[in-house]
């Protein structure tokens, strides 16, 4: 994909009604591009779980900044219910990326929720991404369950090792 120039980015912000000082746009573009690269890395990580030699490409994407994903809505509710345990901040952006698997031509939708986190001690911004296949197919559901199971198993094994003094 091609990244927007600072002027294109600024024009897009103005079209969306987001007044932004021009002197901030250059840094915003750098952050935008950095976050997109991290999101792509996460998409590739998901795809490698299925096939380590998978070749994929971004077919298209859709920004959905005002729409919460079902998962984001769930975690917001959890934050409202138990504010000391869960975050109560909504994602500041959402994208849906359609990835095309070159070998099969299959298209898979990924949901990306973009979160702000508290800044570093030096004031540097911190962001968190939640990237996962959308629950559009049995295959994607299986991928999500498999990933959650593997993560839970790895955490359990790590905790067992700590308890046993390993």
pLDDT in tens, 72-127: 999 999 999 999 998 889 999 999 999 999 888 999 999 999 999 888 999 888 99
pLDDT at 66: 85
Q: Give the residue with greater pLDDT, 2 vs 8.
A: 8
Assigned token pair, 152? 């839970």
Position 166 pLDDT exceeds 70? no
Average model confidence (pLDDT) across the chain? 89
Note the pLDDT tens digit of each residue in 29-45. Answer: 999 999 999 999 999 99
């Amino acid at each position: 994909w091609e990244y927007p120039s600072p002027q294109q980015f600024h024009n897009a912000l103005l079209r969306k009604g987001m007044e932004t000082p021009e002197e901030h746009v250059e840094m915003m573009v750098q952050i935008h591009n950095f976050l997109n690269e991290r999101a792509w890395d996460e998409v590739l990580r998901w795809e490698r779980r299925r096939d380590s030699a998978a070749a994929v490409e971004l077919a298209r994407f859709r920004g959905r900044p005002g729409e919460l994903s079902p998962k984001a809505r769930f975690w917001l509710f959890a934050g409202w219910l138990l504010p000391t345990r869960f975050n109560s901040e909504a994602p500041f952006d959402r994208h849906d990326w359609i990835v095309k698997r070159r070998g099969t031509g299959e298209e898979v939708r990924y949901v990306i929720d973009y979160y702000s986190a508290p800044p570093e001690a030096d004031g540097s911004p911190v962001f968190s991404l939640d990237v996962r296949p959308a629950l559009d197919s049995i295959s994607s559901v299986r991928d999500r369950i498999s990933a959650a199971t593997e993560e839970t198993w790895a955490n359990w094994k790590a905790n067992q090792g700590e308890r046993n003094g390993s």
